């Protein structure tokens, strides 16, 4: 389909160059190709048909200020050019793919740390920093954001906010949505809005929550202020082996009920326990407590009481410490025999995905059993762990991997796995996604999550804020 601006594409390029500088605008094929890719196999998720070209933007822009972003969006509105903001590009649901061409705003060029305030424990930063870039700056002054996803070397601050992400210590410190105090956002019209960076407020609805999770469909987040904390004085680790998954889950529930706040609490299902932790049976739990010495000791002791009552085997600190210090990122590094990255059998395509969701404690084991059955019935493999807990429940991180015969059926089968998995999650009472985001891949399920009325009202908000529908079109089911 020919875009509206096809006739005057060079005019759009000229206006962008005049607005932010010609060295910050590119139409080169190489640049456009670099932004056509997502994190999951081959080109993208969902699978394209054979020989499908990747979605290419027409323009890549690198703004350095909020004003730059505002000018870009005004130009995009004038000419009705789609805009896709991208930071780390680490999502696997197609959220940053420029499906309808247009402009990719690479927010990584918004890379200034504006203020680290160690008296009030806040950091104000532009949103284009990769997580580790910000974390290193904070660590150098003895602080941490405590938002440490496995993708912290890849994903960026803007992406975290846009997708409502979670890091591995979220059980204690919350998701990114609990860490943000205020933000600056450029609206689709080019207007700029700023929410106050205060600890809390009752002055009307919290506008932060309008933009978090919107994945760029309601504007571009250019700056944010977050809570920060001193680096923990110490960390204490514990590994436990329970007889089975329900026992481990019960332990997690009791730990949360007791008022203990492990920084991390990870439960592996039986398959993950066998293949990754090398136990013949059972369900492994690893915990990390952090903070000052006495606190860690107390939480450790209380957790051990619960473990003992449930007859768990004490694996010592080894599994937890090893994971934290050596293996936290390992799954993401490719090798030829890696289940996600190995060369597929000739004639096949390798597929994978994470049907993550969250729900109450009684939901978690049920959904794991159900997903396992769905995936195995489709001749694929699923291993799950549970890694983000709350007082009332937690999150499941179920990864499926398989090989599908190349051809038109592959995309249909892939989409069917998701359909069955998401429907199961929804029907059992869980959310359709905990922290990886919706993007393109799960957009069609948003009406399950919000209901018809909710989805209709989401569209009304979208139409009111983005009347020309330029912001990340085709995502979130909008």
Partner 1 sequence: MSDLIEKTRLCSVCYKMCRDVCSVAAATRHEADSPHNRGFFAYQIMQGQADLQKEVVDYFYRCSMCKACREACETSLDTSEIMLSARSELDDALLPENLLAKKHAIVSGSIYQGDSDEIRQLLSPYINPENPECLVYFGRRLRSNGADTIRSMIAVLLKLGVDFSALPEEPDTGQLAYFLGFTRDASGLAKNFQETIESSAPQRLVIMSADDLRMIKLEFPRMGLEVKDIEIISLPDFLLEVIKQKKPALSNWNAGQVTYHDPCGLGRELRIFEAPREILRMPAGIELVEMAFCRDQAPCCGYGAGLEITHPEITRKMATRLVSIARDSGAKLLVTGCPTCRSVLLDNLAVTKNNDDNNFPEIIDIPMFVERILP
161 binds partner 1 (CB under 8 A): no
Question: What part of residues 101-160 is at the interface with partner 1 (CB under 8 A)?
Answer: 106, 108-109, 111, 128, 130-133, 136-137, 139-140, 151, 153-154
CB 332 → partner 1: shortest distance, Å? 5
Which of 276, 300, 341, 381 touches partner 1 (CB under 8 A)?
Answer: 341
Tokens of 151: 């993708």
34 binds partner 1 (CB under 8 A): yes
Residue closer to partner 1 by CB (options 49, 280) is: 49
CB 238 → partner 1: shortest distance, Å? 25
- Contact assessment for residue 45 and residue 351, using Cβ atoms and an 8 Å cutoff: no
* DSSP calls for 287-356: EEEEESHHHHHHHHHHHHHHHHHTT-EEEESHHHHHIIIIITTGGGS--TT-TTTSPPPTTEEEEEEE--
Question: What part of residues 73-102 is at the interface with partner 1 (CB under 8 A)?
Answer: 86, 88-90
**DSSP structure class, residue 218:** S
Q: Judging by beta carbons within 10 Å of its beta carbon (0-12, 13-18, 19+), is residue 428 exposed, middle or buried?
A: middle
**DSSP structure class, residue 48:** P
Tokens of 360: 């109450």
For β-strands 264-268 and 83-86, DSSP reports them as unpaired
Residue closer to partner 1 by CB (options 30, 464) is: 30
Question: Can you tell me the distance from the alpha carbon of 346 to that of 354, in angstroms, rounded to the nearest whole number?
Answer: 24
CB 23 → partner 1: shortest distance, Å? 8
Q: Of 25-33, 76-84, 407-415, 437-445, which segment contacts partner 1 by CB under 8 A? A: 25-33
CB 376 → partner 1: shortest distance, Å? 25
Residue closer to partner 1 by CB (options 24, 385) is: 24
CB 129 → partner 1: shortest distance, Å? 9
Residue closer to partner 1 by CB (options 202, 343) is: 343
CA count, 13 A, side-chain hemisphere, 191: 6
Q: In Å, how far from its chain's centre is CA 457?
A: 24
Residue closer to partner 1 by CB (options 92, 188) is: 92
Q: Cβ neighbours of residue 141 under 8 Å, at least 6 residues apart?
A: 116, 118
Region at 83 (left for phi over 0; alpha for psi -120 to 50; beta for the rest): beta
Q: Judging by beta carbons within 10 Å of its beta carbon (0-12, 13-18, 19+), is residue 347 exposed, middle or buried?
A: exposed
> Which 3 state secondary structure label does DSSP give 129?
coil
Nearest to 6 by CA among 98, 94, 82: 82
391 binds partner 1 (CB under 8 A): no
Residue closer to partner 1 by CB (options 275, 329) is: 329
* Count, residues near partner 1 per rule CB under 8 A: 40
CB 4 → partner 1: shortest distance, Å? 26
CB 228 → partner 1: shortest distance, Å? 15
30 binds partner 1 (CB under 8 A): yes
CB 317 → partner 1: shortest distance, Å? 22
28 binds partner 1 (CB under 8 A): yes
Residue closer to partner 1 by CB (options 63, 182) is: 63
Nearest to 154 by CA among 92, 217, 198: 92
329 binds partner 1 (CB under 8 A): yes
443 binds partner 1 (CB under 8 A): no
Residue closer to partner 1 by CB (options 11, 141) is: 141
Place of tokens 């991180």: 397
Count the helix, strand and coil residues of the chain and give each as a percent rounded to the nearest 5. Answer: 35, 25, 40
Task: Enumerate binding residues for partner 1 (CB under 8 A).
Answer: 28-31, 33-35, 37, 39, 41, 62, 86, 88-90, 106, 108-109, 111, 128, 130-133, 136-137, 139-140, 151, 153-154, 329-330, 332-336, 341, 343
């Amino acid at each position: 389909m020919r875009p509206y601006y096809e006739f005057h594409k060079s005019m759009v390029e000229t206006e962008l160059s005049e607005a932010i500088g010609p060295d910050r605008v590119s139409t080169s094929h190489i640049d456009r190709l670099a932004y056509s890719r997502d994190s999951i196999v081959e080109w993208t998720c969902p699978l394209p048909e054979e020989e499908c070209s990747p979605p290419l933007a027409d323009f890549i822009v690198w703004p350095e200020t909020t004003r730059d972003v505002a000018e870009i969006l005004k130009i995009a509105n004038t000419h009705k050019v789609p805009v896709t903001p991208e930071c780390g590009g680490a999502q696997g649901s197609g959220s940053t793919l420029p499906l309808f061409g247009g402009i990719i705003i690479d927010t990584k060029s918004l890379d200034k740390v504006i203020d680290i305030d160690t008296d009030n424990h806040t950091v104000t930063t532009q949103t284009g920093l990769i997580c580790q870039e910000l974390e290193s700056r904070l660590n150098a002054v003895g602080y941490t954001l405590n938002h440490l996803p496995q993708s912290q070397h890849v994903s960026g601050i803007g992406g975290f906010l846009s997708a409502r992400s979670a890091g591995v210590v979220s059980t204690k410190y919350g998701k990114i949505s609990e860490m943000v105090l205020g933000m600056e956002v450029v609206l689709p019209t080019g207007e700029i809005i700023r929410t106050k960076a205060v600890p809390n407020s009752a002055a009307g609805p919290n506008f932060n929550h309008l933009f978090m999770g919107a994945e760029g469909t309601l504007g571009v987040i250019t700056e944010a202020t977050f809570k920060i904390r001193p680096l923990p004085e110490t960390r204490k680790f514990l590994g436990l082996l329970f007889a089975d998954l329900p026992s481990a889950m019960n332990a997690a529930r009791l730990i949360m009920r007791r008022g203990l706040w492990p920084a991390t609490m990870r439960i592996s299902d039986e398959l993950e326990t066998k293949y990754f932790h090398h136990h013949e049976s059972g369900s492994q739990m690893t915990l990390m407590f952090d903070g000052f010495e006495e606190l860690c000791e107390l939480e450790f002791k209380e957790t051990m009481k619960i473990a003992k009552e449930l007859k768990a085997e004490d694996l010592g600190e080894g599994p937890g410490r090893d994971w934290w210090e050596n293996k936290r990122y390992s799954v993401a590094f490719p090798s030829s025999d890696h289940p996600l990255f190995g060369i597929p059998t000739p004639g096949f395509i390798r597929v994978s995905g994470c049907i993550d969701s969250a729900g109450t404690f009684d939901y978690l084991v049920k959904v794991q059993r159900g997903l396992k059955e769905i995936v195995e019935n489709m001749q694929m493999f699923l291993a799950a762990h549970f890694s983000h807990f709350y007082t009332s429940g937690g999150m499941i991180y179920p990864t499926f991997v398989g090989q599908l015969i190349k051809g038109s059926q592959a995309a249909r089968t892939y989409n069917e796995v998701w359909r069955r998995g998401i429907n199961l999650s929804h029907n059992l009472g869980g959310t359709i996604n905990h922290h990886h985001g919706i993007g393109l891949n799960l957009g069609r399920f948003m009406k399950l999550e919000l209901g018809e009325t909710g989805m209709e009202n989401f569209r009304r908000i979208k139409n009111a804020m983005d009347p020309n529908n330029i912001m990340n079109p085709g995502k979130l089911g909008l």
